[in-house]
Structure 1
Amino acid sequence: MKNERELSNLLASNLVYYRKSAGLTQLEVAEKFNYSDKAISKWERGESAPDVFVLNALADFYGISLSDFFSVKKKIYRSASWKKHTIITLLSFSIVWLVAAIIFVFGELLQWDPQNNMWMVWIFATVPASIVLTVFAAIWGNRTSLIVSVSLITWSVATSLFVPFYVYNLFTNAYLIFIIAAPFQVMVVLWYFLKIPEFLKKTFKIKIKNPPPGQKEGGSKK
């Protein structure tokens, strides 16, 4: 039977294992669960351990059971949950393009656009496709995947506005749309490199921890 120290080391090792399998940094895990990156580091070094409520939340997040944190795992590059999340994301992403293809085909057959500009459907489809990627990046992804998907939304929206304005001559200076999009892209990049959420927590000394399930913020049970 494993002693307490062995269990502590095994837990620490598996916390590292599942975090890296999910492609996350300590800071990204800390931000998702409202802890400091120092706390995550201590957990992964075995100097301290999260309580059972946090462990349950981490297990749900990684798509594993609580007991998996205390069992020896074979080293693999990607966890089963990562593969499942990837399949769901790609399936949802593909559905957007399937709908776009259906609209394009019927539009061509029924000649919905007399000027034969149904090809713009593919441009417009980049917006919902980018939104799908952003939603799943926010749920399962890391900071890098989120900034990429948000950037895709920014430029897909700008392009979707520019193309019809330009093709149908609705707006002479249609290129100004991209000038509006540029500052927003700069803000997204700054958010990524400055790590604004962590900066705000450190600056204003905000320490917010989620209450255990079934318990209110004040500490009393429902």
Structure 2
Amino acid sequence: MVNEEKLKKTISKNLIRYRKMNNLTQLELAVTLNYSDKAISKWERGESLPDIYVLSLIADFYNITVNDLISDQETGERKKIYQAEKIISLLSVVVVYTVATIVFVYLIVSNISVQRSWLVFIYALPISATVLAFFRKKWNSRVYDFIISTLLVWTLGLSIHLTFHPRVDKMWMIYIICIPLQLILLSWFILKIYYKK
């Protein structure tokens, strides 16, 4: 039989783990559940327990069962699924570059007149960053989010620059647009760390 203290400890540990797996702060979770962040904090410190209704809401939100929140161990199957999703995100990037390579080879061997067919690999950069951004929750890392968002901004700028460079004068100024976007990303990253609990 599980005693109350052990159950509180298990639930608090699982609440923290699932919140962090979903890249949420206590405040973000509190807003979603319509509770105060102080209540979330108490649950995560094991000072009190959420009632069964709230546990059910949390489980639905994370797409898990209530048993996942109250059980002491993570199932090996769930870990395998999580790892498989990470591998799928990386394989998706490989698919992007495979398609880019096929397009590049096709442009070279066909009679289509394209001067800079190598640009397909440059275009693959922001597409890859977008694919990785789509799978960002699987990595559970704010640093990862920041790096991928940064790559997306600058590789998109690079793609636009190289596409129009010879024909449009001063095309390098596209990078001036990237600077404030980068500053916004950096500010957002710092704020998320600052408000992380």
TM over 0.5: yes
How far did residue 190 of structure 1 move? 0.9
- State percent identity of aligned pairs: 33
Query: What is the aligned partner in structure 2 of residue 134 from structure 1?
Result: 133
Q: How does 1:22-41 map onto structure 2 within 5 Å?
A: 22=21, 24=23, 27=25, 30-31=27-28, 34=31, 38-41=38-41
- Contact 1:123–1:160 (Cα < 8 Å) also in 2: yes
Is 1:134–1:146's contact at 8 Å kept on the other side of the alignment? yes
The 10-residue stretch of structure 1 (45-54 or 151-160) with the greater mean CA deviation from structure 2: 45-54
Q: Distance in 2 between matches of 1:32 and 1:120?
A: 43
**Structure 2 residue 110 is matched with structure 1 residue 110:** yes
RMSD: 3.3
Give the drift of 1:70.
Answer: 2.5
Where in structure 2 are there 5+ consecutive unaligned residues? none
Give the alignment of 1:73-222 within 5 angstroms: 73=73, 79-115=79-115, 117-137=116-136, 141-166=140-165, 169-195=166-192
Pairs aligned (count): 189
Counterparts of 1:126 and 1:42, CA distance in 2: 44
What is the CA–CA distance in structure 2 between the aligned matches of 1:37 and 1:94, rounded to whole Å?
41
Between the aligned partners of 2:129 and 2:175, the Cα distance in structure 1 is: 17
TM-score normalised by structure 2 residue count: 0.78
Kindly provide the CA deviation profile for residues 82-132 of structure 1, in whole angstroms up to 9, marking residues without a partner as x: 3133122112222211211111111111143443x2111000111211111
Higher helix share: 2
Q: Do the aligned partners of 1:134 and 1:150 also contact (CA within 8 Å) in 2?
A: yes
| TM-score in terms of structure 1 length | 0.70
What amino acid is aligned across from residue 170 of structure 1 in structure 2? Answer: R
In 1, the alpha carbon distance for the partners of 2:138 and 2:113 equals 38
Show structure 1 runs of 5+ residues with no match: 199-222
